[in-house]
Amino acid sequence: MLLGVEYDIAAYLIWVCTFAFYILIIKRRIRISSKTIKSIKQRVSESTNNPKKMVKLGVRNIEKIIRPCGLSPQKSKSIHTLSKKLEKDHGSKVPENFKDLENLPGVGHKTASVVMSQAFGYPAFPVDTHIHRLAWRWGLSTGKNVEQTEKDLKRLFPMAKWNKLHLQIIFYGREFCPCLLYTSPSPRD
């Protein structure tokens, strides 16, 4: 529960395997609806639930699967390249450590944090621009960047709460704090 609102976090995290979770959520950087995610998740789960199968599928077929979320020509190439690297370097498994994750194509600290926290249950507090903005608005951080905001939030909250709180802030913010409607020049007005 965050600010009196309970979110069904489990509904957003029911995935067939870690790889499908990675492909569907992590590689997608533009927000898409839950309905679209479920549709794509089902297609990926049915046909390509591991890197080896994804490599065999090829770029064109990957593009057909992910087309509903947009940018499919470029994303399909990225997913295919990532799948090859996972197959070759990690035995078709998503690595369970920050170093190896951050060495994958297209993966930075935030993406690695999301995978570590949500796929593997490792305590992490992924901070994207949305969480950064909300932490600033709520007076939880005065950080000028997401790295500082992550440090501030980790200092404020117990480690055992980080994974769930990260999602709660995102879901709360999407519902109640859309950035386009917020025009106050001061973070706490």
Model pLDDT, residue 49: 67
What CA–CA distance (Å, rounded) separates 114 from 42?
Answer: 21
The whole model's pTM is what? 0.70
At residue 54, does pLDDT exceed 50? yes
Q: How confident is the model at residue 12 (pLDDT cuts 50, 70, 90)?
A: very low
pLDDT at 10: 34
Residue 145, pLDDT above cutoff 80? yes
Q: Give yes or no for residue 150 having a pLDDT over 90.
A: yes
Which residue, 57, 61, 56, 20, is CA-closest to 37? Answer: 20
pLDDT confidence tier of residue 155, bands split at 50, 70 and 90:
very high
Q: Which of 118, 110, 138 is nearest to 2 (CA)?
A: 138
Give percent of the chain with pLDDT exceeding 90: 25
Q: Which residue has the higher pLDDT, 94 or 159?
A: 159
Q: Judge whether 56 and 81 are in contact, CB under 8 Å.
A: no
Active site positions, annotated: 110, 128
pLDDT tens profile 58-114: 889 888 877 766 666 777 787 788 889 888 998 888 888 999 988 987 788 888 898
pLDDT tens figures, 38-50:
666 666 655 666 7
Q: What pLDDT score was predicted for residue 39?
A: 67
| Cα-only R_g, the chain | 17
pLDDT of residue 41: 64
Q: Report how far apart, in Å, the C-alpha atoms of 139 and of each of 39, 99, 132, 143, 154 are.
A: 37, 31, 11, 10, 14
pLDDT at 43: 65
Is the pLDDT confidence value at 115 over 50? yes
Q: In this structure, are residues 71 and 79 in contact, taking their beta carbons and an 8 Å threshold?
A: no
Contact 115, 155 (CB under 8 A): no
Contacts 24+ apart (CB under 8 A), 77-80: 78/27, 78/105, 78/106, 79/23, 79/27, 79/54, 80/54, 80/55
